[in-house]
Protein backbone atom coordinates (compact mmCIF):
# COMPACT_ATOMS: atom_id res chain seq x y z
CA UNK A 1 0.00 0.00 0.00
CA UNK A 2 1.30 3.44 -0.80
CA UNK A 3 0.40 6.65 0.95
CA UNK A 4 1.11 10.14 -0.21
CA UNK A 5 3.47 12.05 2.01
CA UNK A 6 1.96 14.90 4.03
CA UNK A 7 2.86 18.27 2.56
CA UNK A 8 3.22 21.30 4.81
CA UNK A 9 3.33 24.83 3.43
CA UNK A 10 5.29 27.73 4.98
CA UNK A 11 6.55 31.09 3.83
CA UNK A 12 10.03 30.37 5.18
CA UNK A 13 11.81 27.35 6.66
CA UNK A 14 14.90 27.49 8.85
CA UNK A 15 17.05 24.35 9.14
CA UNK A 16 18.53 24.03 12.63
CA UNK A 17 17.33 25.41 16.00
CA UNK A 18 20.71 26.42 17.39
CA UNK A 19 21.64 30.05 17.98
CA UNK A 20 21.72 30.85 14.24
CA UNK A 21 18.40 29.17 13.43
CA UNK A 22 16.59 30.71 16.40
CA UNK A 23 17.80 34.25 15.65
CA UNK A 24 17.03 33.84 11.93
CA UNK A 25 13.49 32.62 12.66
CA UNK A 26 12.81 35.46 15.12
CA UNK A 27 14.17 37.94 12.59
CA UNK A 28 11.88 36.56 9.84
CA UNK A 29 8.85 37.01 12.10
CA UNK A 30 9.94 40.50 13.12
CA UNK A 31 10.27 41.31 9.41
CA UNK A 32 6.59 40.46 8.97
CA UNK A 33 6.82 36.89 7.64
CA UNK A 34 3.85 35.02 9.13
CA UNK A 35 4.43 31.30 8.67
CA UNK A 36 7.90 30.28 9.78
CA UNK A 37 8.99 26.70 10.51
CA UNK A 38 12.21 25.58 12.19
CA UNK A 39 13.30 21.97 11.56
CA UNK A 40 15.56 20.56 14.30
CA UNK A 41 17.09 17.09 14.63
CA UNK A 42 17.30 17.16 18.45
CA UNK A 43 14.27 17.05 20.73
CA UNK A 44 14.58 20.65 21.91
CA UNK A 45 15.93 23.99 20.64
CA UNK A 46 19.27 25.51 21.69
CA UNK A 47 21.85 23.54 19.71
CA UNK A 48 25.39 23.21 20.99
CA UNK A 49 24.88 26.07 23.50
CA UNK A 50 23.04 23.64 25.79
CA UNK A 51 26.23 21.71 26.47
CA UNK A 52 28.43 24.85 26.69
CA UNK A 53 27.63 25.41 30.36
CA UNK A 54 30.58 27.80 30.89
CA UNK A 55 30.11 31.57 30.93
CA UNK A 56 31.38 34.21 28.53
CA UNK A 57 28.49 34.36 26.06
CA UNK A 58 26.50 37.48 25.24
CA UNK A 59 28.90 40.28 26.16
CA UNK A 60 28.24 42.06 22.86
CA UNK A 61 24.60 41.02 22.46
CA UNK A 62 23.21 41.45 25.94
CA UNK A 63 26.07 43.40 27.62
CA UNK A 64 26.37 40.72 30.29
CA UNK A 65 28.18 37.43 30.69
CA UNK A 66 25.85 34.48 30.25
CA UNK A 67 26.35 30.73 30.15
CA UNK A 68 25.48 28.87 26.94
CA UNK A 69 22.12 27.55 28.22
CA UNK A 70 21.16 31.05 29.43
CA UNK A 71 22.00 32.59 26.06
CA UNK A 72 19.99 29.89 24.28
CA UNK A 73 17.02 30.33 26.59
CA UNK A 74 16.78 34.06 25.80
CA UNK A 75 16.35 33.22 22.12
CA UNK A 76 14.03 30.27 22.86
CA UNK A 77 11.78 32.71 24.74
CA UNK A 78 11.86 35.19 21.84
CA UNK A 79 10.96 32.36 19.47
CA UNK A 80 8.04 31.39 21.73
CA UNK A 81 6.72 34.97 21.78
CA UNK A 82 7.08 35.16 17.99
CA UNK A 83 4.86 32.06 17.53
CA UNK A 84 7.35 30.19 15.41
CA UNK A 85 6.53 26.57 14.61
CA UNK A 86 9.05 23.82 15.34
CA UNK A 87 9.47 20.31 14.02
CA UNK A 88 11.74 18.40 16.46
CA UNK A 89 13.44 15.02 16.01
CA UNK A 90 13.41 15.77 12.31
CA UNK A 91 16.11 15.77 9.66
CA UNK A 92 16.10 17.34 6.22
CA UNK A 93 17.21 14.85 3.55
CA UNK A 94 16.98 17.07 0.48
CA UNK A 95 16.19 20.56 -0.72
CA UNK A 96 14.70 20.63 -4.22
CA UNK A 97 13.41 23.40 -6.44
CA UNK A 98 9.61 23.58 -6.50
CA UNK A 99 6.97 25.85 -7.93
CA UNK A 100 7.09 29.07 -5.92
CA UNK A 101 10.30 28.18 -4.12
CA UNK A 102 11.73 25.06 -2.53
CA UNK A 103 10.54 21.66 -1.40
CA UNK A 104 12.23 19.93 1.54
CA UNK A 105 12.18 16.18 2.09
CA UNK A 106 11.98 15.69 5.86
CA UNK A 107 12.05 12.60 8.07
CA UNK A 108 10.38 13.19 11.42
CA UNK A 109 10.15 10.81 14.37
CA UNK A 110 6.53 9.87 14.92
CA UNK A 111 5.34 11.52 11.71
CA UNK A 112 7.38 9.71 9.10
CA UNK A 113 8.20 11.26 5.74
CA UNK A 114 7.02 14.82 5.20
CA UNK A 115 7.33 17.35 2.42
CA UNK A 116 7.69 20.98 3.38
CA UNK A 117 7.30 23.76 0.83
CA UNK A 118 8.57 27.28 1.38
CA UNK A 119 9.45 30.37 -0.62
CA UNK A 120 12.76 30.85 1.20
CA UNK A 121 15.04 28.56 3.19
CA UNK A 122 17.66 29.61 5.74
CA UNK A 123 20.50 27.13 6.26
CA UNK A 124 21.55 27.15 9.94
CA UNK A 125 22.88 23.61 10.46
CA UNK A 126 26.04 24.64 12.29
CA UNK A 127 29.31 22.73 12.13
CA UNK A 128 30.83 19.50 13.34
CA UNK A 129 34.17 18.59 14.86
CA UNK A 130 37.13 17.22 12.97
CA UNK A 131 37.96 13.73 14.21
CA UNK A 132 40.99 11.45 14.42
CA UNK A 133 40.30 10.47 10.81
CA UNK A 134 40.84 14.08 9.69
CA UNK A 135 44.35 14.31 11.14
CA UNK A 136 45.75 10.79 10.70
CA UNK A 137 47.38 9.96 14.04
CA UNK A 138 49.33 6.68 13.75
CA UNK A 139 48.92 3.86 16.27
CA UNK A 140 46.22 1.48 17.43
CA UNK A 141 42.55 2.37 17.55
CA UNK A 142 41.60 1.92 21.22
CA UNK A 143 38.63 3.31 23.13
CA UNK A 144 39.16 6.61 24.94
CA UNK A 145 39.94 8.76 21.91
CA UNK A 146 37.14 11.24 21.27
CA UNK A 147 36.42 14.81 20.24
CA UNK A 148 36.34 17.51 22.92
CA UNK A 149 32.70 18.27 22.09
CA UNK A 150 31.69 14.66 22.67
CA UNK A 151 33.44 14.70 26.04
CA UNK A 152 31.60 17.95 26.80
CA UNK A 153 28.28 16.24 26.09
CA UNK A 154 29.24 13.22 28.23
CA UNK A 155 30.19 15.40 31.21
CA UNK A 156 27.67 18.24 31.01
CA UNK A 157 24.55 16.57 29.62
CA UNK A 158 24.82 12.86 30.36
CA UNK A 159 26.83 13.00 33.58
CA UNK A 160 29.71 10.65 32.74
CA UNK A 161 33.44 11.27 33.01
CA UNK A 162 35.40 9.96 30.02
CA UNK A 163 38.38 8.83 32.16
CA UNK A 164 40.80 9.71 34.93
CA UNK A 165 43.88 11.01 33.11
CA UNK A 166 43.53 13.03 29.93
CA UNK A 167 45.68 14.58 27.23
CA UNK A 168 44.13 17.13 24.88
CA UNK A 169 45.32 17.54 21.30
CA UNK A 170 44.53 20.98 19.88
CA UNK A 171 44.19 24.24 21.76
CA UNK A 172 40.88 25.36 20.26
CA UNK A 173 38.44 26.91 22.69
CA UNK A 174 36.41 23.73 23.25
CA UNK A 175 39.59 21.83 24.16
CA UNK A 176 40.66 24.52 26.62
CA UNK A 177 37.21 24.75 28.21
CA UNK A 178 37.19 20.96 28.60
CA UNK A 179 40.66 21.01 30.22
CA UNK A 180 39.18 23.11 33.04
CA UNK A 181 35.88 21.25 33.16
CA UNK A 182 37.62 17.87 33.54
CA UNK A 183 40.04 19.30 36.12
CA UNK A 184 37.12 20.61 38.17
CA UNK A 185 35.51 17.17 38.07
CA UNK A 186 38.68 15.48 39.35
CA UNK A 187 40.25 14.30 36.08
CA UNK A 188 43.99 14.90 35.81
CA UNK A 189 44.67 16.81 32.59
CA UNK A 190 48.33 16.20 31.83
CA UNK A 191 48.90 18.34 28.77
CA UNK A 192 47.39 20.33 25.94
CA UNK A 193 49.32 19.79 22.71
CA UNK A 194 49.14 22.28 19.81
CA UNK A 195 50.76 21.82 16.41
CA UNK A 196 50.87 25.57 15.65
CA UNK A 197 53.42 27.87 17.33
CA UNK A 198 50.50 29.88 18.80
CA UNK A 199 47.36 28.82 20.73
CA UNK A 200 44.17 28.14 18.78
CA UNK A 201 41.85 29.49 21.46
CA UNK A 202 41.22 32.88 23.05
CA UNK A 203 43.82 34.30 25.50
CA UNK A 204 41.26 34.37 28.29
CA UNK A 205 40.78 30.61 27.99
CA UNK A 206 44.54 29.99 28.05
CA UNK A 207 44.75 31.92 31.34
CA UNK A 208 41.59 30.73 33.07
CA UNK A 209 41.48 27.13 31.83
CA UNK A 210 45.17 26.15 31.65
CA UNK A 211 47.36 28.57 33.63
CA UNK A 212 44.96 28.57 36.62
CA UNK A 213 45.52 24.82 37.01
CA UNK A 214 49.15 24.61 35.86
CA UNK A 215 48.23 22.51 32.83
CA UNK A 216 51.19 22.59 30.43
CA UNK A 217 50.61 23.77 26.86
CA UNK A 218 53.06 22.32 24.34
CA UNK A 219 53.12 24.59 21.28
CA UNK A 220 54.65 23.29 18.02
CA UNK A 221 54.09 19.71 19.25
CA UNK A 222 51.77 16.95 18.16
CA UNK A 223 50.56 13.52 19.24
CA UNK A 224 52.66 11.27 17.02
CA UNK A 225 51.39 7.90 18.26
CA UNK A 226 48.56 6.41 20.28
CA UNK A 227 49.38 3.37 22.46
CA UNK A 228 46.94 0.85 23.89
CA UNK A 229 44.98 -2.18 22.90
CA UNK A 230 41.40 -2.10 24.07
CA UNK A 231 41.67 1.25 25.86
CA UNK A 232 44.19 4.00 25.25
CA UNK A 233 47.17 3.67 27.61
CA UNK A 234 49.55 6.41 26.53
CA UNK A 235 50.32 8.96 23.83
CA UNK A 236 53.67 9.81 22.29
CA UNK A 237 54.20 13.57 21.92
CA UNK A 238 56.78 14.99 19.49
CA UNK A 239 57.99 18.47 18.64
CA UNK A 240 57.36 19.28 14.98
CA UNK A 241 59.68 20.69 12.36
CA UNK A 242 59.00 23.45 9.85
CA UNK A 243 56.97 21.11 7.63
CA UNK A 244 54.70 20.04 10.50
CA UNK A 245 56.44 16.64 10.61
CA UNK A 246 57.12 15.09 14.05
CA UNK A 247 60.80 15.03 15.12
CA UNK A 248 62.48 12.38 17.25
CA UNK A 249 64.53 14.81 19.29
CA UNK A 250 62.52 15.95 22.31
CA UNK A 251 59.92 13.18 21.97
CA UNK A 252 58.19 11.99 25.18
CA UNK A 253 55.34 9.73 26.29
CA UNK A 254 52.48 10.48 28.68
CA UNK A 255 50.27 7.77 30.14
CA UNK A 256 46.56 8.55 29.90
CA UNK A 257 43.20 6.84 29.52
CA UNK A 258 41.61 9.63 27.50
CA UNK A 259 42.70 11.65 24.47
CA UNK A 260 40.48 14.57 23.53
CA UNK A 261 40.70 16.09 20.09
CA UNK A 262 40.03 19.78 19.62
CA UNK A 263 41.39 20.04 16.11
CA UNK A 264 38.96 22.24 14.27
CA UNK A 265 35.39 22.52 13.13
CA UNK A 266 33.88 22.01 9.68
CA UNK A 267 30.64 23.65 8.53
CA UNK A 268 28.11 20.91 7.92
CA UNK A 269 27.19 21.39 4.26
CA UNK A 270 26.38 18.00 2.74
CA UNK A 271 22.74 19.10 2.41
CA UNK A 272 23.70 22.48 0.91
CA UNK A 273 26.06 20.88 -1.63
CA UNK A 274 23.36 18.39 -2.66
CA UNK A 275 21.01 21.33 -3.22
CA UNK A 276 23.54 22.82 -5.65
CA UNK A 277 24.93 25.51 -3.32
CA UNK A 278 28.48 26.56 -4.31
CA UNK A 279 30.93 26.29 -1.39
CA UNK A 280 33.94 28.43 -0.41
CA UNK A 281 37.21 26.42 -0.59
CA UNK A 282 38.57 27.91 2.66
CA UNK A 283 35.54 28.32 4.95
CA UNK A 284 33.87 25.15 3.56
CA UNK A 285 30.61 27.10 3.90
CA UNK A 286 28.40 28.51 1.13
CA UNK A 287 29.58 31.38 -1.04
CA UNK A 288 27.22 34.22 -0.18
CA UNK A 289 26.53 37.79 -1.27
CA UNK A 290 26.01 40.80 0.98
CA UNK A 291 22.45 39.61 1.69
CA UNK A 292 23.82 36.23 2.86
CA UNK A 293 22.07 34.56 -0.07
CA UNK A 294 23.86 31.52 -1.50
CA UNK A 295 24.37 30.72 -5.19
CA UNK A 296 20.86 29.18 -5.18
CA UNK A 297 18.28 31.99 -5.17
CA UNK A 298 16.05 31.85 -2.09
CA UNK A 299 18.56 29.82 -0.03
CA UNK A 300 20.30 31.86 2.66
CA UNK A 301 22.99 30.81 5.17
CA UNK A 302 24.15 32.06 8.58
CA UNK A 303 26.07 30.98 11.65
CA UNK A 304 28.59 28.16 11.78
CA UNK A 305 27.25 26.48 8.65
CA UNK A 306 28.47 29.58 6.79
CA UNK A 307 31.85 29.95 8.56
CA UNK A 308 33.05 28.93 12.00
CA UNK A 309 32.59 31.74 14.53
CA UNK A 310 34.36 32.20 17.86
CA UNK A 311 31.59 34.32 19.42
CA UNK A 312 27.91 33.37 19.41
CA UNK A 313 27.04 37.08 19.53
CA UNK A 314 28.18 37.42 15.91
CA UNK A 315 26.22 34.29 14.98
CA UNK A 316 23.04 35.93 16.25
CA UNK A 317 23.80 39.18 14.44
CA UNK A 318 24.56 37.37 11.17
CA UNK A 319 21.39 35.28 11.49
CA UNK A 320 19.30 38.41 11.93
CA UNK A 321 20.73 39.79 8.70
CA UNK A 322 19.87 36.53 6.92
CA UNK A 323 16.30 36.71 8.29
CA UNK A 324 15.79 40.32 7.23
CA UNK A 325 17.07 39.61 3.72
CA UNK A 326 15.09 36.39 3.32
CA UNK A 327 11.99 38.43 4.20
CA UNK A 328 12.91 41.04 1.57
CA UNK A 329 13.44 38.22 -0.94
CA UNK A 330 9.97 36.81 -0.20
CA UNK A 331 8.47 40.24 -0.91
CA UNK A 332 10.40 40.55 -4.18
CA UNK A 333 12.39 43.44 -2.76
CA UNK A 334 15.84 41.91 -2.95
CA UNK A 335 17.21 43.54 -6.08
CA UNK A 336 19.60 41.42 -8.10
CA UNK A 337 21.79 44.32 -9.24
CA UNK A 338 25.43 44.20 -10.26
CA UNK A 339 27.73 42.42 -7.80
CA UNK A 340 31.49 42.67 -7.47
CA UNK A 341 33.82 40.03 -6.04
CA UNK A 342 35.51 40.49 -2.66
CA UNK A 343 39.02 39.06 -2.33
CA UNK A 344 41.15 38.42 0.74
CA UNK A 345 44.56 40.10 0.41
CA UNK A 346 47.73 40.07 2.54
CA UNK A 347 47.48 38.05 5.82
CA UNK A 348 43.78 37.29 5.23
CA UNK A 349 42.75 33.63 5.44
CA UNK A 350 39.27 34.34 4.18
CA UNK A 351 36.83 37.18 3.82
CA UNK A 352 33.06 36.94 3.72
CA UNK A 353 30.75 37.75 1.86
CA UNK A 354 32.48 36.85 -1.38
CA UNK A 355 30.29 39.17 -3.46
CA UNK A 356 28.90 42.62 -2.65
CA UNK A 357 26.54 45.00 -4.39
CA UNK A 358 27.94 48.48 -5.18
CA UNK A 359 25.69 51.10 -3.59
CA UNK A 360 24.82 48.86 -0.61
CA UNK A 361 26.44 48.80 2.83
CA UNK A 362 27.76 45.52 4.24
CA UNK A 363 29.16 43.73 7.25
CA UNK A 364 32.39 41.99 6.32
CA UNK A 365 33.90 39.15 8.41
CA UNK A 366 37.49 38.02 8.06
CA UNK A 367 40.11 35.91 9.77
CA UNK A 368 43.88 36.51 9.70
CA UNK A 369 46.29 33.74 8.69
CA UNK A 370 48.85 34.32 11.46
CA UNK A 371 49.21 36.51 14.55
CA UNK A 372 50.58 39.99 13.81
CA UNK A 373 51.09 43.26 15.64
CA UNK A 374 50.56 46.87 14.58
CA UNK A 375 48.80 46.33 11.29
CA UNK A 376 46.41 48.37 9.20
CA UNK A 377 43.37 46.71 7.66
CA UNK A 378 42.34 48.28 4.36
CA UNK A 379 39.40 47.73 2.04
CA UNK A 380 40.41 48.78 -1.46
CA UNK A 381 38.64 49.10 -4.80
CA UNK A 382 41.53 49.25 -7.22
CA UNK A 383 43.71 52.17 -6.04
CA UNK A 384 40.93 53.64 -3.98
CA UNK A 385 40.93 52.98 -0.21
CA UNK A 386 37.35 52.74 1.09
CA UNK A 387 38.03 51.83 4.71
CA UNK A 388 41.02 51.59 7.04
CA UNK A 389 41.40 50.48 10.64
CA UNK A 390 44.48 49.96 12.79
CA UNK A 391 44.86 46.90 14.98
CA UNK A 392 47.49 46.51 17.70
CA UNK A 393 47.25 42.74 17.49
CA UNK A 394 45.42 40.27 15.28
CA UNK A 395 45.08 36.54 15.99
CA UNK A 396 43.71 33.69 13.86
CA UNK A 397 41.52 32.76 16.85
CA UNK A 398 39.68 36.10 16.71
CA UNK A 399 37.38 36.84 13.81
CA UNK A 400 37.27 40.49 12.80
CA UNK A 401 34.08 42.17 11.69
CA UNK A 402 33.85 45.55 10.03
CA UNK A 403 30.83 47.52 8.88
CA UNK A 404 31.13 49.28 5.54
CA UNK A 405 28.85 52.18 4.69
CA UNK A 406 27.34 52.38 1.22
CA UNK A 407 29.90 51.22 -1.31
CA UNK A 408 30.54 53.58 -4.25
CA UNK A 409 28.45 52.65 -7.31
CA UNK A 410 31.32 52.58 -9.81
CA UNK A 411 33.68 50.01 -8.20
CA UNK A 412 34.65 46.79 -10.03
CA UNK A 413 36.14 44.65 -7.26
CA UNK A 414 37.12 44.79 -3.60
CA UNK A 415 40.20 43.57 -1.74
CA UNK A 416 40.54 43.33 2.04
CA UNK A 417 44.09 43.03 3.39
CA UNK A 418 46.60 44.05 6.05
CA UNK A 419 49.69 46.24 5.75
CA UNK A 420 52.24 47.02 8.47
CA UNK A 421 51.33 50.11 10.43
CA UNK A 422 53.87 52.20 12.35
CA UNK A 423 53.94 51.25 16.04
CA UNK A 424 52.71 53.74 18.58
CA UNK A 425 49.80 55.08 16.55
CA UNK A 426 46.51 54.77 18.41
CA UNK A 427 44.55 51.57 17.71
CA UNK A 428 40.98 51.60 16.53
CA UNK A 429 41.55 54.71 14.41
CA UNK A 430 39.42 54.38 11.38
CA UNK A 431 38.74 56.37 8.29
CA UNK A 432 36.18 55.96 5.63
CA UNK A 433 36.62 57.56 2.26
CA UNK B 1 58.50 37.73 43.98
CA UNK B 2 57.98 37.91 40.23
CA UNK B 3 55.11 36.47 38.25
CA UNK B 4 54.29 36.55 34.56
CA UNK B 5 50.65 37.24 33.70
CA UNK B 6 48.66 37.70 30.51
CA UNK B 7 46.45 40.76 30.93
CA UNK B 8 42.82 40.04 30.00
CA UNK B 9 41.51 43.61 30.28
CA UNK B 10 41.27 43.93 26.48
CA UNK B 11 41.96 41.81 23.36
CA UNK B 12 45.53 43.16 23.19
CA UNK B 13 46.65 40.65 25.83
CA UNK B 14 49.82 42.33 27.18
CA UNK B 15 52.35 39.98 28.72
CA UNK B 16 52.94 41.39 32.18
CA UNK B 17 55.90 40.79 34.41
CA UNK B 18 54.88 41.65 37.97
CA UNK B 19 57.16 42.18 40.98
CA UNK B 20 55.36 42.08 44.33
CA UNK B 21 55.79 41.53 48.05
CA UNK B 22 53.35 39.83 50.46
CA UNK B 23 51.24 42.95 50.65
CA UNK B 24 51.67 45.08 47.56
CA UNK B 25 52.75 45.40 43.97
CA UNK B 26 56.23 46.78 43.41
CA UNK B 27 56.47 47.00 39.65
CA UNK B 28 54.44 45.98 36.61
CA UNK B 29 56.25 45.75 33.27
CA UNK B 30 54.92 45.00 29.79
CA UNK B 31 51.57 46.77 30.19
CA UNK B 32 50.61 49.27 27.52
CA UNK B 33 48.01 51.03 29.68
CA UNK B 34 47.10 51.56 33.37
CA UNK B 35 44.51 48.78 33.26
CA UNK B 36 47.41 46.33 33.27
CA UNK B 37 48.35 47.44 36.80
CA UNK B 38 44.77 47.10 38.06
CA UNK B 39 44.55 43.65 36.50
CA UNK B 40 47.83 42.54 38.10
CA UNK B 41 46.72 43.83 41.52
CA UNK B 42 43.45 41.86 41.36
CA UNK B 43 44.97 38.69 39.90
CA UNK B 44 47.83 38.52 42.42
CA UNK B 45 46.04 39.48 45.63
CA UNK B 46 42.38 38.44 45.18
CA UNK B 47 41.77 36.48 41.99
CA UNK B 48 38.11 35.57 41.47
CA UNK B 49 36.27 33.36 38.99
CA UNK B 50 32.68 32.51 38.13
CA UNK B 51 32.12 28.77 38.60
CA UNK B 52 29.85 26.87 36.22
CA UNK B 53 28.98 23.21 36.76
CA UNK B 54 25.95 20.90 36.95
CA UNK B 55 23.72 19.49 39.67
CA UNK B 56 21.52 16.39 39.55
CA UNK B 57 17.88 17.04 38.76
CA UNK B 58 14.96 14.71 39.40
CA UNK B 59 11.71 14.64 37.47
CA UNK B 60 12.90 16.40 34.30
CA UNK B 61 13.65 15.19 30.77
CA UNK B 62 17.36 15.84 31.49
CA UNK B 63 19.49 14.27 34.24
CA UNK B 64 21.63 17.33 34.87
CA UNK B 65 20.89 20.99 35.41
CA UNK B 66 23.58 23.55 34.46
CA UNK B 67 24.30 25.97 37.32
CA UNK B 68 26.57 28.94 37.99
CA UNK B 69 27.62 31.22 40.80
CA UNK B 70 25.67 34.49 40.61
CA UNK B 71 28.97 36.41 40.82
CA UNK B 72 32.64 35.56 40.90
CA UNK B 73 34.03 33.77 43.96
CA UNK B 74 37.61 33.60 45.28
CA UNK B 75 39.61 31.39 42.92
CA UNK B 76 40.80 29.06 45.67
CA UNK B 77 37.16 28.15 46.47
CA UNK B 78 36.32 26.89 42.94
CA UNK B 79 36.84 23.22 43.81
CA UNK B 80 34.77 23.50 47.00
CA UNK B 81 31.91 25.10 45.03
CA UNK B 82 32.03 22.18 42.57
CA UNK B 83 31.92 19.72 45.49
CA UNK B 84 28.93 21.47 47.04
CA UNK B 85 27.13 21.35 43.70
CA UNK B 86 27.90 17.65 43.27
CA UNK B 87 26.25 16.94 46.62
CA UNK B 88 23.10 18.80 45.61
CA UNK B 89 19.98 17.34 43.94
CA UNK B 90 17.04 19.46 42.87
CA UNK B 91 13.55 18.58 41.65
CA UNK B 92 11.93 19.84 38.49
CA UNK B 93 10.40 22.24 37.69
CA UNK B 94 13.34 24.63 37.89
CA UNK B 95 13.35 28.21 36.66
CA UNK B 96 16.38 29.93 35.15
CA UNK B 97 17.93 32.14 37.85
CA UNK B 98 16.35 30.16 40.72
CA UNK B 99 18.62 30.12 43.78
CA UNK B 100 19.64 26.55 44.63
CA UNK B 101 22.24 27.25 47.35
CA UNK B 102 22.11 30.74 48.86
CA UNK B 103 25.40 32.39 49.89
CA UNK B 104 27.43 29.34 48.91
CA UNK B 105 30.46 28.84 51.23
CA UNK B 106 29.73 32.32 52.69
CA UNK B 107 31.05 33.95 49.52
CA UNK B 108 28.04 36.20 49.10
CA UNK B 109 27.36 34.47 45.77
CA UNK B 110 24.39 32.18 45.20
CA UNK B 111 24.44 28.97 43.19
CA UNK B 112 21.70 29.53 40.59
CA UNK B 113 20.04 27.48 37.84
CA UNK B 114 21.31 28.39 34.36
CA UNK B 115 18.30 26.99 32.52
CA UNK B 116 14.62 26.25 32.92
CA UNK B 117 13.58 22.60 33.15
CA UNK B 118 9.96 21.56 33.10
CA UNK B 119 8.59 18.67 35.11
CA UNK B 120 8.31 15.58 32.93
CA UNK B 121 6.42 12.33 33.31
CA UNK B 122 9.65 10.38 32.89
CA UNK B 123 10.76 8.31 35.89
Residue-wise pLDDT for A85-133, tens only, equals 999 999 999 999 998 899 999 999 999 999 999 999 999 999 999 998 8
Query: How much is the pLDDT for B10?
Result: 77
Sheet strands side by side (includes A258-261): A145-147, A258-261, A165-169, A188-194, A217-219
Mean pLDDT for A276-296 is 97
Chain B residues within an 8 Å CB radius of A65: 50
Q: Which of A118-122, A398-402, B6-10 has the lowest mean pLDDT?
A: B6-10
Query: How much is the pLDDT for A423?
Result: 61
- Complex prediction ipTM: 0.91
Query: How much is the pLDDT for A210?
Result: 96
Q: Are A376 and A422 a contacting pair, CB within 8 Å?
A: no
Query: How far, in Å, are A125, A187, A230 from residue A160 at the CA level?
Result: 27, 12, 19
Predicted structure pTM score = 0.93
Mean pLDDT for A207-218 is 96
Whether the pLDDT of residue A26 is over 60: the answer is yes
Query: How much is the pLDDT for A3?
Result: 64
Residue-wise pLDDT for B64-122, tens only, equals 999 999 999 999 999 999 999 999 999 999 999 999 999 999 999 999 999 999 998 65
In chain B the domains, ranked by start, together with CATH numbers, are 2-45 (no CATH), 52-113 (3.10.530.10)
Mean pLDDT for A305-317 is 96
Cβ–Cβ gap A55/B52 under 8 Å: yes
| Maximum separation of any 2 CA atoms in chain B, in Å | 61
Rounded to a whole number of angstroms, the CA Rg of chain A reads 23
Query: How much is the pLDDT for B123?
Result: 47
Whether the pLDDT of residue A426 is over 90: the answer is no
Residue-wise pLDDT for A317-343, tens only, equals 999 999 999 999 999 998 778 999 999
Mean pLDDT for A293-305 is 97
H and E: helices and strands count for chain B: 2, 10
* Helix H or strand E segment including A69: helix A68-81
Whether the pLDDT of residue A432 is over 70: the answer is no
Mean pLDDT for A229-242 is 94
Residue-wise pLDDT for A373-384, tens only, equals 999 999 999 999
CA B29, B32, B37 angle in degrees (round to 5)?
A: 55
* Helix H or strand E segment including A181: helix A173-184
C-alpha A266/C-alpha A48 separation (Å) is: 14
Query: How much is the pLDDT for A137?
Result: 87
Whether the pLDDT of residue A226 is over 50: the answer is yes
Q: Given B63, B78, B114, which is nearest A69 (Cβ)? A: B114
CA distance B26 to chain A (A): 22
Whether the pLDDT of residue A81 is over 50: the answer is yes
Query: How much is the pLDDT for A100?
Result: 86
CA distance A100 to chain B (A): 40
Mean pLDDT of chain A: 93
Cβ of residue A89 closer than 8 Å to a chain B Cβ: no
In chain A the domains, ranked by start, together with CATH numbers, are 6-128+266-330 (3.50.50.60), 131-263 (3.50.50.60), 340-432 (2.60.40)
Chain A residues within an 8 Å CB radius of B11: 203, 393, 398
Q: Are A29 and A84 a contacting pair, CB within 8 Å?
A: yes
CA atoms within 13 Å, Cβ hemisphere of B65 = 32
Higher-pLDDT residue of A180, A140? A180
Cβ-count burial of A85 within 10 angstroms (0-12 exposed, 13-18 middle, 19+ buried)? middle
Interface test with B, best of A53, A393, A425 (most B CBs within 10 A): A53
Cβ–Cβ gap A159/B56 under 8 Å: yes
Whether the pLDDT of residue A430 is over 60: the answer is no
Which percentage of chain A shows pLDDT scores above 70? 97
Cβ–Cβ gap B66/A184 under 8 Å: no
DSSP 8-state secondary structure symbol assigned to residue A426: P
Query: How much is the pLDDT for B13?
Result: 78
Q: Are B54 and B85 a contacting pair, CB within 8 Å?
A: yes
Mean pLDDT for A219-243 is 94
CA atoms within 13 Å, Cβ hemisphere of A381 = 17
Query: How much is the pLDDT for A246?
Result: 92
Interface of B with A (CB under 8 A): 5-6, 8, 11-13, 32, 49-54, 56, 61-64, 66, 68, 75, 78-79, 82, 96, 114-116
Query: How much is the pLDDT for B112?
Result: 98
Whether the pLDDT of residue A251 is over 80: the answer is yes
Amino acid sequence: MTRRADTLGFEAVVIGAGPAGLAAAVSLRQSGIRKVLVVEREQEPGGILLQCIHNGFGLHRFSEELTGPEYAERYIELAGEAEIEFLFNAIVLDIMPAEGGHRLAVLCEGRGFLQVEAGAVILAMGCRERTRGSINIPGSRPAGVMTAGLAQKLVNILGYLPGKEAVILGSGDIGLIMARRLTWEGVRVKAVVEVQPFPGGLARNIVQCLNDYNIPLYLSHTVSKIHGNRTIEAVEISPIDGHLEPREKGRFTLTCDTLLLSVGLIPENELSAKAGVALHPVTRGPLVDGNLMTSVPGLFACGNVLHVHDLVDWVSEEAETAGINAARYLRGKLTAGRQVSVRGGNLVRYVLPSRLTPGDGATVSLRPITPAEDVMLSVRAGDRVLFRRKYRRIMPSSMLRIKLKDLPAEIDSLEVGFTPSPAGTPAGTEEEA
Amino acid sequence: MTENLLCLSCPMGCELSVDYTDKKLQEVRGNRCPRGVEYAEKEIFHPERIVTTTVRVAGAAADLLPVKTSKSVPKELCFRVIEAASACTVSAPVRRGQVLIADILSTGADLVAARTLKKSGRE
